[in-house]
Structure 1
Amino acid sequence: MFRLATVMRQVRPVSRALAPHLTRCYAKDVKFGADARALMLQGVDLLADAVAVTMGPKGRTVIIEQSWGSPKVTKDGVTVAKSIDLKDKYKNIGAKLVQDVANNTNEEAGDGTTTATVLARAIAKEGFDTISKGANPVEIRRGVMMAVETIIICCCFCDFSVSLLTFCISF
């Protein structure tokens, strides 16, 4: 074993002068506008549809195929979200964005990942529709963040009855 290590040290790597022709250059497939948004939204919808069936006390279980062992049966939204990997890279980008929402919700709150996923789909769908009609994406984000702040304030200072929450949201 010691001799093998000394022999391996004596083997010299390829000269750096020859390295440029050995490097790989991959072309990037870049899409803009409505095409990219449509594909990303398809990925968001696929993931959200799979996760949404687990919502609530009457939600259904999902069976996840695993490469090793028996299939996993779960009703946990974040587990379902983590198991989804799409072949199309643009759809996968949309799915990964919603996976991040589920993961962050799981880390911060520990529960509510299914609800967060369904809300993320609704926000993405409405946001993409509004952007396709010519709205400014920065203004949409500002509006969403203002709505979140308003809901947090209403939940902190209001009674949690549905009528008061509806009243707070109407502002």
Structure 2
Amino acid sequence: CNPMDLRRGSQAAVEAVIEFLQKNKKEITTSEEIAQVATISANGDKHIGDLLANAMEKVGKEGVITVKEGKTLEDELEVTEGMKFDRGFISPYFITNTKTGKVEFENPLILLSEKKISSIQDILPSLELSNQTRRPLLIIAEDVDGEALAACILNKLRGQVQVCAVKAPGFGDNRKNTLGDIAILSGGTVFTEELDIKPENATIEQLGSAGAVTITKEDTVLLNGEGSKDNLEARCEQIRSVIADVHTTEYEKEKLQERLAKLSGGVAVI
């Protein structure tokens, strides 16, 4: 069998299947239909299906639904303000829950940097603030490597500071804008060379805060950011106005819609 013929045949089959599915798909719009699909996915458990449908109704199709181990015997649904993005921890040494393979922080400080952090001097003030306040530290930057990453891992392994480093999501202007969104959500400042704001001079007022953070190898979820609700709404309104601008391209609109969904959709925690 010729491999190229096999490849072409497979591609033709895929295209035929996709075309068939597109023609025969049924859009589900009601809460009852969502509950039916969710119940099937939950092995016929109607209670879980209804819970998922309720969660989806509250956060919308662009919102985030996550599952967390509860402290009671009942299944509960809680909708909070938050954001999820597709970047996980840089090193598995940061994991705090070995059972789930996740980093789980309560009430962390958040350091946001537009540039790569390599020098220990860039993170020293934030590590000291984390230690003084006995609060975990989440670093979100273009990248964290070198002696800065080594210092974070060493502090974590010694139990001196709970810390985790995550690469900022996106690229170029999109990354810059997303960091700005996280800053608005968390009430922090993005350290940037453009404005001559350097992380080596970080103060507690410049660090963001969140009620909780969960980080896996693939993604990060911020819950209950402590930023101003007025600033958050103003940011959303600014994004909506750019989407409505006739000069905004379709690609730009798509990226803006994603940002708006992350900022306004919320997170449902089951």
- Range into which the TM-score falls when normalised by the shorter chain: under 0.3
Q: State the structure with bigger RCO (CA 8 A, min sep 6), 1 or 2.
A: 2
Q: Larger radius of gyration, structure 1 or 2? A: 1
- TM-score of the two chains, using structure 1 as the length reference: 0.26
